[in-house]
Amino acid sequence: MPLPYRWQRRFEQWQSTFRGFFGGGNQQPRPRICPVCGSLVGINTARCHECGTNLNFSLAALSKKLSGIIGSDSPVTTVMLIANFLMFGVTLIMVMQSGQGSGLSILWGIGGESTIRLGMSLPLRFLVELNQWWRLVTAMFLHGGLIHIGFNMMSLFQLGPAVEELYGSSRFLFIYVVTGAFGFLCSSIGAGGHFSLGASGALLGLVGVLLAVTSKRGGVYMRQIRSQLITSTVILFAMGLYGGIRIDNWAHGGGLAAGFLLGKVFADRQPDGVTEKRVAAILGWLAGLTIIACFVLMILHFRDPLS
């Protein structure tokens, strides 16, 4: 039975992309287009003659290749979704190996030593004493149960593509990392400090960005979006004030404020021109390398004594 046309097209994209990654196949080489400035460059050219972008190792080139593999216009959002689910799987395995995580606790009660070793955010006094600031980043990839990750990933699936399409993949990654880390910093300071984890600080950062965008634009549609975002945010903070629900309003508030500020600073459009695109690429690389460095530090300190 033949595959539907859209799946044939998807497989062709994957084959072409993997040939580009590993240099295989018998396809005749063709001129390339610079992912930053759009200039046509030579077959064997490693750097664009117009803007100087490295065509093999730039974040723009990587984003384009990821788009081909994933089949999505929002590759960073997709990678974040995958990373969060992978870390949840690792957390779940560690919790079960320790004899915990049975019954309904898997829904919301995953925590303890496993999440601390994997990079949960700690109160400020512990971050300072242990000098483990990398936890402000690793914590945004950890979750405390199926309900926790389910709600957060559903929100990321809804908000991420819109913000990534608006700002571009590089600036989106920068916004996601900065707002999430700042949210955990606020959480570590506020009300005596918290043990905290989850992607919701970064997600509130995306909400803050969208609030800033809608405040700069007029029209009925923008007002409707802003009203919906404000209503949802108020409900979330109200739930956090209820003692029976473990919601970190400090992380949410920090992420929201950082996102709103970045939304005011950044032009609400894709980077335009060589200079803007180069700055966006630098910000994206900075955020991506920060994530990698923080996870490396987590692995290096994984077996450190907890007391």
Residue numbers annotated as active site = 200, 252
**Residue 16: its H or E element:** helix 5-22
Residues 6+ apart with CB under 8 A from 13: 68, 69, 71
Instruction: Characterize 131-153 residue by residue with b for buried, 16 or more Cβ atoms within 10 angstroms of its Cβ, and e for exposed.
Output: ebbbbbbbbbbbbbbeebbeebb
Q: What number of other Cβ atoms are within 10 A of residue 54's Cβ?
A: 14
| Helix runs in 111-219, H state only | 113-117, 124-130, 135-138, 146-167, 169-189, 200-216
Q: Is 112 left (phi over 0), alpha (psi -120 to 50) or beta?
A: left
Judged by DSSP in three states, 45 sits in coil
Token output for 270: 């894709």
Residue pair 122/135 in contact by the 8 Å Cβ criterion: yes
Judged by DSSP in three states, 51 sits in coil
The CA-based angle 143-148-154, given to 5 degrees, is 110
Instruction: Write out the DSSP string of 225-273.
Output: HHHHHHHHHHHHHHHHHSTTS---HHHHHHHHHHHHHHHHHS-SS---H
Residue pair 284/173 in contact by the 8 Å Cβ criterion: yes
C-alpha to C-alpha distance for 67 and 13, rounded to whole angstroms: 9
